[in-house]
């Protein structure tokens, strides 16, 4: 089971906001999980940290110019990722009072 808390709306491109997700029964707490939505699809991104270059600046993709990020937490299996996504979206919807 996943419980969501501490919703912080931040709307930019596909980003809708951030929240904290707590996984039960493990008690694992994931801070700064991001909710995204685009073209009728929604997904949750797990916490990530900026890739930093030798000068201390965030690295950018040479083709797109977008900032690069390193995953902090990952879910390896496709079935497990899909199950996490379903449960996380339900938890975030419950937090935000949406069906």
Task: Look at residue 83 in the predicted model and tell me its pLDDT.
Answer: 97
Distance, in Å, from the CA atom of 84 to the CA atom of 61, rounded to the nearest integer, reads 28
Find the CATH number of the domain harbouring 18: 3.30.1120
Total domains, the chain: 1
DSSP class of residue 65 equals -
Distance, in Å, from the CA atom of 17 to the CA atom of 92, rounded to the nearest integer, reads 10
Structure tokens at 55: 């000068």
Q: How confident is the model at residue 99 (pLDDT cuts 50, 70, 90)?
A: confident
Taking only the tens place, the pLDDT of each residue in 51-86 is 999 999 999 999 999 999 999 999 999 999 999 999
Distance, in Å, from the CA atom of 88 to the CA atom of 24, rounded to the nearest integer, reads 12
Q: What pTM was computed for the model?
A: 0.87
Range of the domain at 57: 2-96
Task: Look at residue 98 in the predicted model and tell me its pLDDT.
Answer: 87
Report the mean per-residue pLDDT for the chain: 96
Distance, in Å, from the CA atom of 15 to the CA atom of 35, rounded to the nearest integer, reads 6
Rounded percentage of the chain residues whose pLDDT exceeds 90: 98
């Amino acid at each position: 089971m996943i419980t969501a808390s501490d919703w912080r709306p931040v709307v930019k491109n596909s980003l809708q906001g951030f929240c904290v997700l707590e996984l039960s029964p493990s008690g694992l707490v994931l801070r700064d999980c991001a909710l995204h939505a685009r073209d009728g699809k929604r997904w949750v991104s797990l916490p990530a940290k900026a890739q930093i270059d030798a000068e201390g600046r965030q690295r950018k993709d040479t083709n797109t110019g977008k900032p690069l990020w390193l995953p902090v937490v990952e879910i390896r299996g496709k079935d497990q990722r899909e199950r996490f996504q379903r449960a996380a979206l339900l938890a975030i919807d419950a937090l935000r009072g949406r069906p």
